[in-house]
Amino acid sequence: MTTLARKLRVVDYFALGWGSMVGVGWLVVMDDWLLRGGTLGAILGFAIGGALLLPIGFVYGRLVAAIPDASAEVAYTAKVFPQPVSFATGWMMVLAYFIVCPWEAVAIGRIAGYIFPALDSMEVYRIAGRPVYLPHLIIGLGLTAFLTVLNYRGIRLSATFQNWTVFGTLALFLVFVGCGVSKGSPRNFPPLFTHGGFVSVLLVMQIVPYFMTGFESVVKGAEEARPEFRSRQFFTAIWMAIVVGVLFYTVIIAAVGYVAPWHELTGEKFMTAVAFEHAIGSRWIVSLILAAALLSLLKVFNGNLVAASRVLFAMGRRRLVDPQVGEVHSRNQTPAVAVLCIGIATAVCMFAGDAILVPITEVGSVASALGWLGTCAAYYWMRPAPLERVMAMTGVLVSLLMILMKVVPAVPGLLMILMKVVPAVPGHFSGYEWLALGVWSLVGVTLTWRARNSNGGRT
């Protein structure tokens, strides 16, 4: 039986984890972050929210060292829970990674249109009142095809591409932040909080899971580590991805709040770029920021394609979905069928445009939290050492709280009432999010039912 190629090093795993996590939210929705919490509220929200993910990263690091399986959450939960639980956990993680891919394919058209306004033309149709432009579709489909072929051909090609885009993003980030802060002033920071201290931090923490999802993608490549790779290096890569992710987000928020009076720029498109242009007084800094954003977009797309295809492949190998999805290419040693499935599905979803994808991406944060919840609960029931059980239980509680804050509108409100504050709380699930989650669940039930029947009821 052909196995996956074993060519990944610790730096590749860091690039996969951090690269899958940090996208272009720091450019596209910075105004939302600051309006939720203010400068200090947003910084504390990401710092605390990111720190709460460290116990979850600890659990993943322990489990991948003991069970180096590409199915990750499926394999972990299968050790202690019934098969429907392990299938549901894995299927939610496929959604968490997959849904990022069409969003990035759509986002590249939006950023390209900002750089070259002529691309915002040749409207093909509208969905929910939002136009879909032909040049945007062509660019997104071209990128999807490129990354699909890249991952079809080999993991080493994909990892090299990931490394260049990750470290290129970090290098450009250091340059434009360094240049920008030299022109800023602490007078630009206020208001430090927008809704009172506790509420401001809470509103930002509510969105942290979506923007920090991806560190656990490291474990999806567990079967592709080089022969000399040491299992404890998985733990290193995961924690480095989380820590560097928290530092990246907190530094960029602080930098935007420092370089310009941010509260006067919240209505601007791509507020981060506008703030730095305001400080420098030149357009070149905008070009540098957009170049960093494009590199960041490419790495997120590629990293999530890798992670989604590995989980789908491993579920096929376990006959939880069509077994053909679990085939390995004889020459390239890649999960070729799974890669093609994710690539084709991404291309199809692209045609929905950003109007439909926005509510679906909200589901991604809950899907990730469900995967984290299943993994931490499984590790707890495996009865590790007392300290490790504490870490696992902490991961369970953090994951559960993140899920409740999204799907139960009253949870954030009740917490605020306890603090004698009663504002309106954005971010809970609407009908569109529930519909998206329901459709995805129905697709998963259908696929596993067909897989069971094709195998005579055996799995």
Model confidence pLDDT, tens digit, residues 17-46: 999 999 888 988 898 899 989 999 999 999
Cis peptide preceding 191, ω within 30 of 0 = yes
Q: Which of 277, 282, 281 is nearest to 256 (CA)?
A: 277
Q: Is the pLDDT of residue 417 over 90?
A: no
Q: Across residues 49-75, what is the average pLDDT?
A: 93
Which range in 1-10, 37-46, 193-202 is most confidently predicted, on average pLDDT?
Answer: 37-46
Contact 124, 133 (CB under 8 A): yes
Confidence label for 103 from pLDDT (cuts 50, 70 and 90) = confident
Q: Is the pLDDT of residue 427 over 60?
A: no
The helix/strand/coil state of 123 is: strand
Contact 235, 61 (CB under 8 A): yes
Q: Across residues 388-411, what is the average pLDDT?
A: 78
Confidence label for 419 from pLDDT (cuts 50, 70 and 90) = very low
Contact 419, 202 (CB under 8 A): no
> In the chain, what percentage of residues exceed pLDDT 70?
86
The helix/strand/coil state of 411 is: helix
- Per-residue pLDDT reduced to its tens digit, 227-274: 999 989 999 999 999 999 999 999 999 999 999 998 888 888 889 999
Higher pLDDT, 230 or 359: 230
**191 — phi, psi (to 5°)?**
-75, 135
Backbone region of residue 72 per phi and psi (left: phi > 0; alpha: psi in -120 to 50; beta: other values): left
Q: Is the pLDDT of residue 350 over 90?
A: no
Enclosing H/E stretch for 179:
helix 155-181
Question: Hey, what long-range contacts does 420-429 have (CB within 8 A, 24 or more apart)?
Answer: 421/195, 421/196, 421/198, 421/199, 423/195, 423/199, 425/203, 426/36, 426/203, 427/203, 427/206, 427/207, 427/362, 429/362, 429/366
The residue type of 446 is T
Q: What is the pLDDT of residue 425?
A: 41
Contact 6, 279 (CB under 8 A): no
Contact 57, 228 (CB under 8 A): no
Least confident of 64-73, 409-418, 429-438: 409-418
- Please give the Cα distance from 290 to 273 (Å, whole number): 8
Q: Which residues contact 338 (CB under 8 A, 6 or more apart)?
A: 309, 310, 312, 313, 316, 325, 326
> In the chain, what percentage of residues exceed pLDDT 90?
54
Domain boundaries, the chain: 10-358
Q: What is the pLDDT of residue 205?
A: 85
User: How much is the mean pLDDT over the chain?
Assistant: 86
Confidence label for 79 from pLDDT (cuts 50, 70 and 90) = very high
Contact 151, 305 (CB under 8 A): yes
The residue type of 438 is G
Q: Across residues 217-231, what is the average pLDDT?
A: 93
- Please give the Cα distance from 21 to 245 (Å, whole number): 7
Q: Which residues contact 207 (CB under 8 A, 6 or more apart)?
A: 32, 33, 36, 365, 427
Domain 10-358: CATH superfamily is Amino acid/polyamine transporter I (1.20.1740.10)
Confidence label for 116 from pLDDT (cuts 50, 70 and 90) = confident
Q: Across residues 3-10, what is the average pLDDT?
A: 93
- Per-residue pLDDT reduced to its tens digit, 125-177: 888 778 889 999 999 999 999 999 999 999 999 999 999 999 999 999 999 99
Q: Which residues contact 117 (CB under 8 A, 6 or more apart)?
A: none
Least confident of 218-222, 424-428, 431-435: 424-428
Q: Across residues 375-398, what is the average pLDDT?
A: 91
Contact 99, 361 (CB under 8 A): yes
Q: What is the pLDDT of residue 421?
A: 36
Please state the pTM of the whole predicted model. 0.87
Q: How far apart are the first and last CA of the chain?
A: 19
Q: Is the pLDDT of residue 2 over 90?
A: no
Least confident of 67-71, 148-152, 359-363: 359-363
Q: Which of 211, 147, 155 is nearest to 342 (CA)?
A: 147
Q: Across residues 297-319, what is the average pLDDT?
A: 94
